[in-house]
A and B are shown apart, each in its own frame.
Chain A
Amino acid sequence: MTVQEKGCFSGEHPADELLSAYADGELGPDGMAEVAMHLRTCVACRRRLEEWQRLGQAAQAAVGLKTWPEEVFRRELSDRLMAEARRPQGRLPVGLRPRRVRPKSAAVAAAIMLLLAGAGLGWARSSYDRYVEQEAGYLVREHQAVRLGVMGTAEFATYGGTSGAEYGDATHDSFGGKQ
């Protein structure tokens, strides 16, 4: 960028835009030399530049950003990329690095899962066994009911989805149709 592109001196002093470009290193070698020569002799422009630089640093500190001149930024970026390229494959910065699942912890997790599944199955089996054991007693009573010949009546209380309440309970003195 040249002094002409950024605007020339307004009178004896460089325009604000030109001084800003100087501060950011955006001028070409001639422009930089020209503005630097002026600053050596002009106290007012030096103060103006210092003031901008101070404000710029304060702004950077306020927003936490680092603003670099383009070339500096490119150099910095290039350096970082090179550093990344030299880093072992797949390795990410510590903050971004995912937690690695180590074989040992995977085995522990699998063992815990197996233990839990086994315990669950064991519990279900023992629960089933207990149920079947209790059921056996009930079934033996059903056999006795069959032997007694009252199975048909016992059925209503235990099977068929028909609740006894549906039939109500009434004293009826005789057969001979519904009452």
Chain B
Amino acid sequence: MLRPALMRVTKTAPVLAVLALAALVILGAKAHAAADADQDAFRMYQNSFEPKAAFSGVLRITGRDVALEVEVRGLDGMSRYIFHSGGKTVDVLRGGGKIIVKVGPRNVSVEVPSFLDFTDTTDLIMRNYSASIAGRDIVGGRPARKIEMTPLRPGRPDRVVWIDEATGIQLRRDDYRYDGSLIERRELVKLNVVATPDKAEAERWRQALLDPDLDDSLAARLMAPKFHQFRPGPPLAQFFPSRVPEGYVLIGARLAGQPRGPVRHFVWTDGIGVISAFVREVPWWARRPQPVTVRPDGGVELESDGLRLLLVGDATPEELTDMAASFLRKR
């Protein structure tokens, strides 16, 4: 009885092993292909911020409380954004990992890439999101590749990007909250692709980026990508959370001057999502401890230990609550 059964096993074992090996190979190949597809999607996304094509157009930014139109021009991998803010013309030139901001006729800031625009956070995005090419679409009459970035953790935003097939220009970008509501849409309208780029103009831009000739060092007043840069300055580190939502890293800190005393402002990002924490010290006579309350916009407020906190951003109220509760006054 035992012998025939043993013989059957010895006959089928090689077959089973071969089948298992084949399955592993197929799965591995699929995973590899998926990873390659992810890489392709990420690469396409990253390149869309510095397309080689020369173009001009209008970037229309809309959101729940936002409506802004920005004149945009692209030239040899560099981009220039011109818009009006506070009655002033703001001119932003970006290229080669540098950013120059001009307000009126003066150069005022340089090299704050991760703050002014999160284009350098691709690594962060790759850590916290999966990317996939989700097919083709027509945007503004032009064929485009649709790329979807899906968060690896719940409670984070989704990003969908449409990239022009012919030029690699980013035609549209939508960010959605975890509940599906639109956070922000950027759409390039009135796109005009220039067949013959102005080489002299490109050279002027390049020189401006290489030698920004700053009028003043207001860069120090802006958000800095590295928190430690602020250590010698205002005592920002005196108040800090011990817990932040997973995947988020601190990218900026500033002391915002407000009429009733300064407010410390910290910014974290996971590549796409952004969280802001505003910390205000409350004078003794106005202290009124209050538990965490969730705001209609999903942010949370809390007053404890003489600190008033406001946290808003792309995380669930539970995560923001947990983060707020971990804000401790360091003595």
Residues of A bordering B, CB below 8 Å: 121, 124-125, 128-129, 131-132, 135-136, 139-144, 146-162, 164, 167-172, 174-179
* Contact of B86 with A by CB under 8 A: yes
Which single residue of chain B is at the shortest CB-CB distance from A136?
A: B310
Chain A residues within 8 Å of B103, by CB: 153, 156, 164, 167
A175, B204: Cβ atoms closer than 8 Å: yes
CB distance from A164 to the nearest CB of B (A): 5
Bound complex: CA A159 to CA B285 (Å): 26
Given contacts A136-B310, A152-B116, A162-B218, contact A175 B85 (CB under 8 A): no
Among A150, A160, A175, A179, the one with the most B-chain Cβ atoms within 10 Å of its Cβ is A175
Whole-angstrom CA separation of A168 from B183 in the bound complex = 33
The answer on a CB contact under 8 Å between A170 and B104 is yes
CA distance A94 to B221 in the complex (A): 73
Q: Which of B100, B215, B278 contacts A139 (CB 8 A)?
A: B278
Chain B interface bracket (under 10, 10 to 19, 20 to 34, 35 or more): 35 or more
Q: Are A151 and B66 in contact (CB under 8 A)?
A: no
Indicate with 1 or 0, residue by residue over B98-130, a CB within 8 angstroms of chain A CB atoms: 001111111111001001111000000000000
Q: Secondary structure at chain A's binding surface: helix, strand, loop or mixed?
A: helix
Residues in chain A near residue B86, CB distance under 8 A: 153-154, 156-157, 164
Nearest chain A CB to B198's CB is how many angstroms away? Answer: 10
CB distance from B239 to the nearest CB of A (A): 15
For A177, give its contact among B89, B104, B208 (CB under 8 Å). Answer: B208
Are B68 and A148 in contact, CB atoms less than 8 angstroms apart?
A: yes
Which residues in chain B, 190-218, are within 8 Å of chain A measured between CB atoms? 201, 204-205, 207-209, 213, 215, 218
A151 in contact with B222 given A146-B252, A168-B105, A172-B91 (CB within 8 Å): yes
Inter-chain CA distance A135–B309, complex, in Å, is: 12
In the complex the two chains form, what is the Cα distance from A128 to B259 in whole Å?
11
B259 / chain A contacts, CB cutoff of 8 Å = 131
The yes or no answer to B87 lying at the interface (CB within 8 A) is yes
- Is B133 an interface residue when CB atoms closer than 8 A count as contact? no
Given contacts A151-B116, A157-B85, A169-B87, contact A142 B222 (CB under 8 A): no
Residues of B near any A CB (own CB < 8 A) = 61, 63, 65-66, 68, 80, 83, 85-93, 100-109, 112, 115-118, 183-184, 201, 204-205, 207-209, 213, 215, 218, 221-223, 252, 256-260, 263, 265, 267, 274, 276, 278, 280, 282-283, 285-286, 288, 295, 297, 299, 301, 308, 310, 312-313
Contact at B221–A155, with CB atoms within 8 Å? Answer: yes
Which chain A residues border B280 with CB–CB below 8 Å? Answer: 132, 135
B247 to chain A, nearest CB (A): 17
Q: Is the CB of A142 within 8 A of B201?
A: no
- In the complex, the answer to whether B256 meets A142 with C-beta atoms within 8 Å is yes
Q: A125-B285, A125-B288, A140-B297 are in contact. Are A146 and B101 (CB under 8 A)?
A: no
**B311: nearest chain-A partner, CB-CB:** A143
Flag if B118 contacts A144 (CB, 8 Å).
Answer: no
Q: Most chain-B CB neighbours within 10 Å: which of A141, A153, A176?
A: A153
Residue of A129, A157, A167, A177 ringed by the most chain B CB atoms within 10 A:
A167
The answer for the CA separation of A168 and B105 in the assembled complex, in Å, is 7
Bound together, the chains give a CA A159 to CA B265 distance in angstroms of 13
Q: Are the CB atoms of A176 and B313 closer together than 8 Å? A: no
